[in-house]
Amino acid sequence: MSKAKIIDGKKLSNDIKKEVASQVAQLKLEGVSPGLAVVLVGDDPASQVYVRNKASACDAAGIYSKVINLPAHTKEHELLKVIQELNNDEIIHGILVQLPLPAHINSANIIQEINPNKDVDGFHINNVGLLTTGNPNMKPCTPYGVMKMLESEKVPVWGAEAVIVGASNIVGKPMALLLLAQGATVTICNSKTKDLSAHTSRADILVVATGRPNMVTGDMIKPGAVVIDVGINRMENNKLCGDVEFESASQVAGAITPVPGGVGPMTIAMLLTNTVEAAKRTL
């Protein structure tokens, strides 16, 4: 039996989606109907599932969603043209290009083409720069969702020792910036970190986003720590697991996110939040 409190991302995300739906209804009364365009290049099965989930979440919240499916052989200049058209489309407030893109397309070029005010993923260099200076325009959805989870659990961030395992542009780095902005002392670890457990075992807040299943175990965690597992990995038995070994970790942590049902649902909830925020700014 787990000792740790389970942080229910599914319930919290549903609460946020209800709030989004009421904001959408209010915006429509003011003459603005929020719209999100999702661009999918190729037929990666995992990406197709994500895109379907995003579209159905939009529908449930009353957000107009447009899914643009392009073949895998689409050329970079063709994709750039699609982005330009969406930038100029007044009924689209948010643009999301599903990553990863096929190898022949430079993702950075595509992200830079998105109007920063429609960049609901928060990946455009303007948005990254604003986040770095503590004045965010669009916050990346997954780290934003993690901050909402910490807030909902009333986790004290100010003065806390926060350790992030994984230094990606999508999760690790923006996660560090959001925690810093709230007064945490932040350490970022990566695959080259020596003696990883020396860092993880002093974390009051531990965020793991490596894409390596069960990498962090209970003996690497400070008793009572809040553990946020961003990873989602499909094992050979077809079961999903995180980057944290849940059984051992949940015996030591004070609170922990499950996989599935933890951070995953929050990412989509924050995508909807960002889309509504983008729509509000057009008023």
- Tokens, residue 68: 């643009």
Choosing from 81, 115, 149, the residue where a domain stops is 115
One of 119, 121, 204, 229 is an active-site residue; which one?
121
Residue 66 and residue 158 in one domain: no
Is there a domain that residue 25 lies in?
Answer: no
Classify residue 238 as exposed, middle or buried by CB count within 10 Å of its CB (0-12, 13-18, 19+). Answer: exposed
Q: What are φ and ψ of residue 108, in 5° steps?
A: -60, -40
Residue 153 and residue 230 in one domain: yes
Is there a domain that residue 2 lies in?
Answer: no
Residue 108 and residue 220 in one domain: no
Rounded CA-CA distance 126/1 in Å is 46
pLDDT truncated to tens, each residue of the chain (283 aa)?
568 999 999 999 999 999 999 999 999 999 999 999 999 999 998 899 999 999 999 999 999 999 999 999 999 999 999 999 999 999 999 999 999 999 999 999 999 999 999 999 999 999 999 999 999 999 999 999 999 999 999 999 999 999 999 999 999 999 999 999 999 999 999 989 999 999 999 999 999 999 999 999 999 999 999 999 999 998 888 899 999 999 999 999 999 999 999 999 999 999 999 999 999 999 9
- Tokens, residue 232: 């989602």
- In angstroms, how far apart are the furthest CA atoms of the chain? 56
Residue 199 and residue 90 in one domain: no
- Tokens, residue 160: 């806390």
121 an active-site residue?
A: yes
Is there a domain that residue 149 lies in?
Answer: yes
Q: Report the amino acid identity of residue 103.
A: A
218: DSSP letter: G
β-bridge mates for residue 228, sequence order = 207
Domains contained in the chain, number: 2
* Contact call for residues 130 and 141 (beta carbons, < 8 A): no
Rounded CA-CA distance 210/225 in Å is 19
Residue 158 and residue 97 in one domain: no
Classify residue 44 as exposed, middle or buried by CB count within 10 Å of its CB (0-12, 13-18, 19+). Answer: middle
Range of the domain at 199: 140-264
Angle of helix 263-280 versus helix 9-29 axis, rounded to 10: 20
Q: What are φ and ψ of residue 221, in 5° steps?
A: -115, 140
Residue 166 and residue 226 in one domain: yes
Number of Cβ atoms within 10 Å of the Cβ of 190 = 13
| pLDDT for 1 | 57
One of 54, 139, 173, 222 is an active-site residue; which one?
54
One of 98, 118, 139, 243 is an active-site residue; which one?
98
Is there a domain that residue 283 lies in?
Answer: no
Choosing from 115, 149, 170, the residue where a domain stops is 115
Residue 216 and residue 254 in one domain: yes
Q: What are φ and ψ of residue 128, in 5° steps?
A: -65, -45
Number of Cβ atoms within 10 Å of the Cβ of 15 = 13
